A and B are shown apart, each in its own frame.
Chain A
Amino acid sequence: MSATTRYSMAAGWRLPNIWDLVAFVCVIGALVGVGHVAAGTLTRIDAPGATQITLDPLNLPVYAVRTTLRMFAALAASLLFTFTYGTAAAKSRRAALVLVPVLDVLQSVPILGFLTFTVVFFMNLFPGQVLGLELAAIFAIFTSQAWNMAFSMYQSLKTVPADLYEASISFHLTSWQRFWKLEVPFATPGLVWNTMMSMSGGWFFVVASEAVSVGDNTWKLPGIGSYVALALEEKDIVAVGWAILAMLVVILAYDQLLFRPLVAWSAKFRFETTAGATASDPWMLRLMRRTRLLHFIGERVGDMAATIGGMRLSFTGRVRSMASPEPSKAVDAVWIAVLLALVSMATWRVVSFASEAISWADVGEAVGLGLITLLRVVVLMILASVIWVPIGVWLGLRPIWARRAQPIAQFLAAFPANLLFPPFVLFIVYFHLSPDIWLTPLMVLGTQWYILFNVVAGAAAFPGDLKEAAANFRIGGFLWWRKVIIPGIFPYYVTGAITASGGSWNAAIVAEVASWGDTKLQAHGLGAYIADATDKGDMARVVLGVVVMSTFVVLFNRLLWRPMYAYAQRRLTLG
């Protein structure tokens, strides 16, 4: 905190300036927006305008604000979840036994399939109020954001450097202080990055969650998502264009106002002992540092955080010595017995439920459709790799281009691909193409960029001396690709490909079914199966579809990506 104080004195901005005015307008604007939305959530569901929307572009700013606030509410919930769940999983050996595998599965379950049921649940919590619908939408977005953030927290907490941990104990930091002074800062860079990814992932769910139908009733919460849904229903391509524009503005705004500054700020927590090349501060961070008002607020917030983090609270009474007593075998046995009991109970419930509603033929059908979707994912991954790896390498080896391409690729990854569906659907309908083939590209529309920007990063980080050695020995053509650059970027490529393939599976639910007015295009696949069952409110088949898809995703990860990743880490990294 003292560092920033001194910075401002050095900069010498003593009087309110033009930046203060800008900041002031921003703050007031944000307050008005929040107030407006808060008022909206308390209205009754059948009140005029509460769940009706129009395609007038003038309404879009309001819709955009409401959608954005929904996303940030979900983000706040995700952060809360991350700090509690991730910490519990990392701190307690017994809890980790359950929490880590559960998180792993949750990550691969397409929660989208359960949307209808969560809506009913939340509406019953607040009967007749918009709040129920709002909460359902927020929950849906939450499920797309929380898991990877919690995982990032868990992994960071597990890898806190031992010497810092020892230092914090030997200087008598309580567990509360250690959490805020050591563990949270250490986890911050990873968490910020994952938060950004989660925001992008959330858009996908916004469109699906704002307009929901339960039985015969359809509700549309005011927001960009329902605006798009309505535009698709009414075949209004101009409105779709407006929606895309609004979303562009929103994404640009939170990217520039929030995430760029956050990423730059979080670089200070990166655990490295050498000073690396630092990029220049984004303008918003400069604004924060130079504006007296914002600076003052930021400092107060920082001081408050420091005070809270510095409180000498302890969860375990007196700080214990590191060598905790041998874990009790008896308690372990009891714990495992309890878990076994719970698992067998759950198994029994699932089996009895499934045996009533699902036949073996249903399972066979779902698995068969799963194989079709699997084929799609595999073909798409190959296609995307063939296209983007050479381009990524080309860009990455040219620093100027890499610097220009990186933010664009990240932006494209953040852009919700389902907004680009309408042109595709029009195209397919117009030319009478087969949905089985031509709906497929929609699955990678949003996720292929992960491959691109990871490959660009990998090629940019390719060691200069190896480049020179390759040139010196005149290694060129196919040999260069096979022996030099592909092994060099492989670890990066795998990282990108894992994200891309995971996203594609989830996208299948939305991408295998697309509609334009009355025209409904449906491909054969597990995604369409789940979407169809959701529409019909067929709980049993939704569960079946989701289970089969999760199994596919988990197996795909375990059998293909994990070994590839381990291989890349072991063999293809230097040092």
Chain B
Amino acid sequence: MDTAVTTRPCLINVKGCRQAYHKDANADLVVLDDVNLTLHEGEIVALLGRSGSGKSTLLRIVSGLLKPTAGEVTWRGKPVSGPTDGVAMVFQSFALFPWLTVQENVEIGLEARGVHRSERENRAETAIDMIGLGGFENAYPKELSGGMRQRVGLARALVVHPDLLLMDEPFSALDVLTAETLRTDLIDLWMDGKLPVKSVLMVTHNIEEAVLMCDRILVFSSNPGRVATELKVPFPHPRNRLDPDFRQLVDDIYGIMTRRPPAGPRAATATPISPLAMPLHRVGTNIMSGLMETLAAEPYNGRADLPALANSLQYEVDDLLPLGETLQLFRFAVLEEGDILLTDLGRTYVEGDTDQRKRIFSEALRQHVPLANMIRQVLDERWNHRASAVRFRDELEDHMSPDYAADTLRTLIGWGRYAELFSYDEEAEQFGLEDIE
């Protein structure tokens, strides 16, 4: 099958793609770095990665919505310079026009191409029936459930008969059951050759979804986004989630995604990494305690398999990995080949009462998060024990995008308040030491 696919015509080819946002004073913020991707007819490919790994950016580059800072994108051998003609997109948020009916939403791509009204209506009917929306033609999106809305999104993309269907986390806004139905419906249509597309490229952060649906998976690493590994999924459709080989592949991918980045290339960068250049995940202290307590208790007794843990908690990679990494940052737990292990410090934390927990957390925070320590030092030095948050945010923004900087600061404020390391006045945007002993 592999050789069969690679001999088929190449649809899209991305070479040496790099996407960076320019920052005035400092180095560029690199979102994607040296990414290569080739897509042939007849395959479903997943871009799998954590949020912030640039996979959605790559999808937008492929679709022609975004022009890469450097690198070459070709569509059937010709360079891409604007929205590509043979490409249609399905959005995570559905992106339906709320003032158009299902029928009108589906027709919009055809209308833009100037297709005549009667033909438009015929083709829309066909797509609507195929995707299981028959009878809903006159409904407005707000009358539909999430699953039905995404079906409209799919019909709208399919009706233009694109060569390549792009899907940006198409099922992540849906509940578990609805998402599963849509996935199997789509795969069934694909296997029956009823989908009027040649190839599908989808972005996801759900490992099982990628293994369930795709022929090939590109696993992305974060900061900056790179293709860490490329995997082939050798199982025939329909796939069984409980099959041991299926489970093993999911496990392997967890292992890849929790692998620490090799130290080499980081040290080699020209500018020294500042202690502040550390984006923090938005993870609350309650959920950290909760996970540690779960890990300490039966049946895990201090060690858990990540996919199994994710399953039992109904978490996706995007929820679980940041949490695990944050615990690792505080040395409360260690991530190892798709497993998570509670450390002795983590165990002590779980066994402590509120005050003891706060003390342990506070120490860990000062020790492992330089920014927290720095804020406290500044506050101790000032005569009025107050410091503006803006200054710290500005410093963070030298090293990361404004969104990440704001998130990082917000997370840090939560942690610092819990640890009673400092207080924060939202109105004045100032750190302080009020109510801190």
Contacts and interface: CB of A to CB of B under 8 A. Distances in A.
Contacts of B97: 164, 167, 181-182, 185
Interface stretch (A84-92, A319-327, A546-554): A319-327
Interface in B394-430: 427
A167 B92 CA distance: 11
A171 B104 contact: no
Interface string B109-128: 10111100000000000000
A171 B65 contact: no
A273 B98 contact: yes
A170 B82 contact: no
A166 B114 CA distance: 19
A170 B98 CA distance: 18
Contacts of B383: none
A310 interface: yes
A274 interface: yes
B114 A312 contact: yes
Contacts of A483: none
Interface stretch (A24-32, A95-103, A263-271, A526-534): A263-271
A163 B65 contact: no
Interface string A174-204: 1001000110010010000000000000000
Interface string A130-166: 0000000000000000000000000000000101101
Contact of B112 (A171, A188, A271, A571): A171
B58 interface: no
Contact of B99 (A169, A269, A323): A269
Interface of B, secondary structure class, is loop
Nearest to A7: B138
Nearest to B137: A2
B167 interface: no
Interface stretch (B33-41, B83-91, B301-309, B334-342): B83-91
Contacts of A312: 112, 114
Interface in A267-289: 268-275
Contacts of A188: 99
A361 interface: no
B64 interface: yes
B190 interface: no
Q: Which of B65, B83, B104, B111 has the largest count of A CB atoms less than 10 A from its CB? A: B83
B104 A2 contact: yes
Contacts of B100: 181
Contacts of A171: 88, 108-109, 112, 156, 160
B98 A321 contact: no
Query: Chain A CB within 10 Å — which of B66, B111, B427 has the most?
Result: B111
A269 B98 CA distance: 7
B143 A275 contact: yes
A318 B81 CA distance: 10
B101 interface: yes
A170 B89 contact: yes
Interface in B125-144: 137-138, 140-143
Interface residues on A, range: 35 or more
Contacts of A181: 97, 100, 108
A173 B112 contact: yes
A321 B112 contact: no
Contacts of A269: 98-99
Contacts of B64: 170, 321
A174 B427 CA distance: 44
B5 to A, nearest CB: 26
Contacts of A11: none
A172 interface: yes
B301 to A, nearest CB: 40
A6 interface: yes
Contacts of B221: none
Contact of B66 (A2, A182, A273, A323): A323
A270 B142 CA distance: 10
Contacts of B141: 273
B66 A270 contact: no
Contacts of B143: 275
Nearest to B110: A171
Interface string B222-265: 00000000000000000000000000000000000000000000
A319 B98 contact: no
Contact of B103 (A2, A166, A174, A320): A2
A15 interface: no
Contacts of B83: 169-170, 172, 319, 321
Contacts of B85: 172
B242 to A, nearest CB: 35
B95 A6 contact: no
A485 to B, nearest CB: 22
A3 interface: yes
Interface string B141-177: 1110000000000001000100000000000000000
B65 A166 contact: yes
A321 B88 contact: no
B138 A318 contact: no
B63 A170 contact: yes
B93 interface: yes
Contacts of B65: 166, 169-170, 321-323
B67 A323 contact: yes
Contacts of A268: 98-99, 140
B204 to A, nearest CB: 17
B434 to A, nearest CB: 19
Contact of A310 (B82, B111, B138): B111
Contacts of B93: 163
B82 A173 contact: no
A173 B143 CA distance: 25
B160 A271 contact: no
Interface in B35-61: 60
B112 A166 contact: no
Given A163-B95, A172-B83, A319-B83, A571 B427 contact: yes
Most chain B CB within a 10 A radius of its CB, from A167, A177, A273, A312 = A167
Contacts of A323: 65-67
B98 A271 contact: yes
A105 to B, nearest CB: 30
B109 A185 contact: no
Interface string A314-353: 0000111111000000000000000000000000000000
Contacts of A274: 142
A123 B427 CA distance: 56
Contacts of B99: 185, 188, 268-269
A283 B66 CA distance: 48
Contacts of A273: 98, 141-142
Nearest to A188: B99
Contacts of B63: 170
Given A163-B95, A268-B99, A173 B138 contact: no
Nearest to B87: A170
B429 to A, nearest CB: 11
B84 to A, nearest CB: 9
Interface in B65-85: 65-67, 81-83, 85
B82 A318 contact: yes
A167 B142 contact: no
A454 B110 CA distance: 44
A321 B101 contact: no
Contacts of A275: 142-143
Contacts of B103: 2
Given A163-B91, A321-B81, 6 more contacts: A2-B104, A164-B97, A170-B83, A171-B112, A185-B97, A185-B99
15 contacts: A2-B138, A161-B95, A163-B94, A164-B97, A167-B95, A169-B83, A170-B63, A171-B88, A171-B109, A171-B112, A181-B100, A272-B98, A310-B111, A323-B65, A323-B66
Interface of B: 60, 63-67, 81-83, 85, 87-89, 91-95, 97-101, 103-104, 108-109, 111-114, 137-138, 140-143, 156, 160, 427
Interface of A: 2-3, 6, 161, 163-164, 166-174, 177, 181-182, 185, 188, 268-275, 310, 312, 318-323, 571
